[in-house]
Chain A
Amino acid sequence: MIGRIRAIASATFREAVRDKLLLLVVLFAIGLVLFSRVLGWLSVEDELKMVQDFSLTGISLLGLFLAMLVGAGSLAREVERRTVYTVLTRTATRTEFILGKYVGLVLVFWLCIVGSWLALVAWVLTWGGGAFVGATLPALVAAVVGLLFESVVLTSVALFLGSLSAPAIASVGTFVFYMVGHSTEALRELTDQGKNPDFAAAFALLYRVVPNLENVNFINATTSGRPVDWVSLGLGGVSAAVWAAVFLAGAVALFRKRQF
């Protein structure tokens, strides 16, 4: 079973890596990293803060776009091109197919995220020197690890929605998920401060039942020198993995019922 998942994952990986779309998305992210320097110049002060903040936001959006553009449509593409026929008529089960696709996609996305992140580190090193990078490196590492965790969840959601509906709808759904997943905490805080008490119950519920992507959000204030809470990053990773497992289980359940 592991062998077959690996085979599907590696085919997915190669297939995605060689796709021009991926190159385009990654170039966009790296372009944003380089462009962030211009925003730094505009800001008079805090030049490298601007570079880091805008770049990390860019890399987070990269993870989102990959899930939306590559992840959400990947199952539909297999079905549409009928490549799935050649896979599922061998000894691979549908569960293995979904898991293999997932692993392959996550690996590709990780590669893209880490690549863009390395571009950011090199860029900061160019303008800020070793001392600056040294001082903010733990925060930068935590930020990218958080983004990798986020990508784990986003990819599983994209696959789940992709096995449920058409690629365009799955893409939009993934985007909405990203928005909601990042705002439940802020929404709940709003009501905690006594504002909008009418929505308190709804927001509290939303906070519980929607994966909280803020748990793995370590991209804020990387230049502040605040210590990284590695334990909560780790727990965020565990939580991300659990949610990913839930969405994958959903994707498998839907995919197993599917008639081709």
Chain B
Amino acid sequence: MFDPRFWLVVGGVAAAAALQGPLGQTNADRRRNDFRYTPDADVARVLSLGHRSTLANTIWLRGLPDFAREFRDKKLKKRWLAGVFDVVTELEPGFFTAYWFGSTYLTLVDRDDTAAIELLESGCRRMLAIEEEDGQEYYITTRLHIELGMTYYMWSKDKEKALEALEFATRRPDCDALTRNMVVAMKMDEGEDLVALTYAATNLDSPNRNVREKAEEDFERTKMRMVRREARRFLETHTREPVSIAELREFAPGVPELIWDGAEMDADGVFAFPKHAATELRATLHGAEYAARIYRDNHDEWPPLEWLTTPGWDPDRPNGLGTLPRPPAGQAWHFDPATGKASVIDLPQ
């Protein structure tokens, strides 16, 4: 029905395809433990012909699958990946993922915190040089310092160096609240209240409302924790609770004046921080609304209040974000399914 030449071509293609599978497998097995070559960073810069980011990406994509791959020659793997991190970050100093994955790999898999720290420090150095050149700050610099600090803290157990790097990050407005609170706590432990308060106050005047409100909450909590710490010390010294704010202030002349702002003592002699309570409540309500929005995006309807307040209320639609804490005394959580607004209402007396 067809020309015999047609069948010859079909047969040829089929034979080639049949051979190609096993052959490819053999070759792939052989290549798996092949020598990997990364050029020297300087050479790579010249060879990139100006396409530095693209070459960095290419080398990165080449190295990425080898992170989890077993090499027969462990030293080769180490040398190859170290080369990848080095060349990639040299070609593109702001390639955060390379630092981040790289340092994570070096600590978690290679257990080589020195190399991880070296990588992160080179990143910090490069980014600081870029910032100086541009006269502008970049989030990557902050994140690199956080990664560096955490590596010192968790792997090298060098608290001093960790704090140095984390403090650098904390001083910048784009530092995340978690890191900042950690540094504030560390500073409080070292008795440097004023420094801790200064860090806690970093974003109080942020133009971004969410950032500002979060900062207010953190700041008020820091103050409250300092007041409570002094109250505990008072108890240890005098074996009784202080009777007034004034007495506690007199007991602790060294702490910054600032922390007493907004501190109250009710008739029962209990400390209260109405301002902290207010900021905390506001943050909680924002969190609730955020969770509700995610729920609506997933299920096309607003959640019932119970989903927000009761853990495990709907096993089919679990609340992975966590449920609301107890509401303030004499009040109850309220959720308006028409507007998605969360609030508190007074309980009937």
Contacts and interface: CB of A to CB of B under 8 A. Distances in A.
Are chains A and B touching directly in their complex (CB below 8 angstroms)? Answer: yes
B46 A186 contact: yes
Interface stretch (B130-138, B155-163, B206-214, B269-277): B130-138
Interface stretch (B24-32, B52-60, B181-189): B52-60
Given A43-B64, A53-B57, A190-B42, A224 B138 contact: yes
Which of A45, A182, A189, A214 counts the most chain B CB atoms within 10 A? A45
B51 A43 contact: no
Interface residues of A, number: 34
B53 A221 contact: yes
B45 interface: yes
B92 to A, nearest CB: 6
Interface string A188-209: 0110010100000000000000
Contacts, number: 79
Contacts of A183: 46, 49-50
A179 B49 contact: yes
A42 B51 contact: no
A227 B136 CA distance: 9
Given A43-B64, A183-B49, A195-B42, A49 B130 contact: no
A49 B57 contact: yes
A44 interface: yes
A242 B132 CA distance: 32
A77 to B, nearest CB: 28
Nearest to A39: B61
Contact of B50 (A182, A187, A190, A227): A182
A217 interface: yes
A50 B136 CA distance: 24
A213 B54 contact: no
B50 A39 contact: no
Contacts of A178: 49
A44 to B, nearest CB: 7
B244 interface: no
Contact of A224 (B42, B46, B50, B94): B94
Given A226-B134, A227-B134, A43 B57 contact: yes
B20 interface: no
A219 interface: yes
Contact of B138 (A53, A179, A214, A225): A225
A222 B56 CA distance: 13
B50 A213 contact: yes
A220 interface: yes
Contact of A42 (B45, B52, B64): B64
A57 interface: yes
B92 A187 contact: no
26 contacts: A39-B61, A42-B64, A43-B64, A44-B97, A45-B97, A45-B101, A46-B57, A49-B57, A53-B56, A53-B57, A54-B54, A182-B50, A183-B49, A183-B50, A186-B45, A189-B45, A190-B45, A193-B42, A195-B42, A219-B54, A220-B50, A221-B52, A221-B92, A225-B139, A226-B94, A226-B130
Interface of A: 39, 42-46, 49-50, 53-54, 56-57, 60, 178-179, 182-183, 186-187, 189-190, 193, 195, 213-214, 217, 219-222, 224-227
Given A57-B54, A189-B45, A190-B46, 15 more contacts: A46-B57, A46-B95, A53-B56, A53-B57, A54-B57, A60-B50, A183-B50, A214-B50, A219-B53, A219-B54, A220-B53, A220-B92, A224-B138, A226-B130, A226-B138
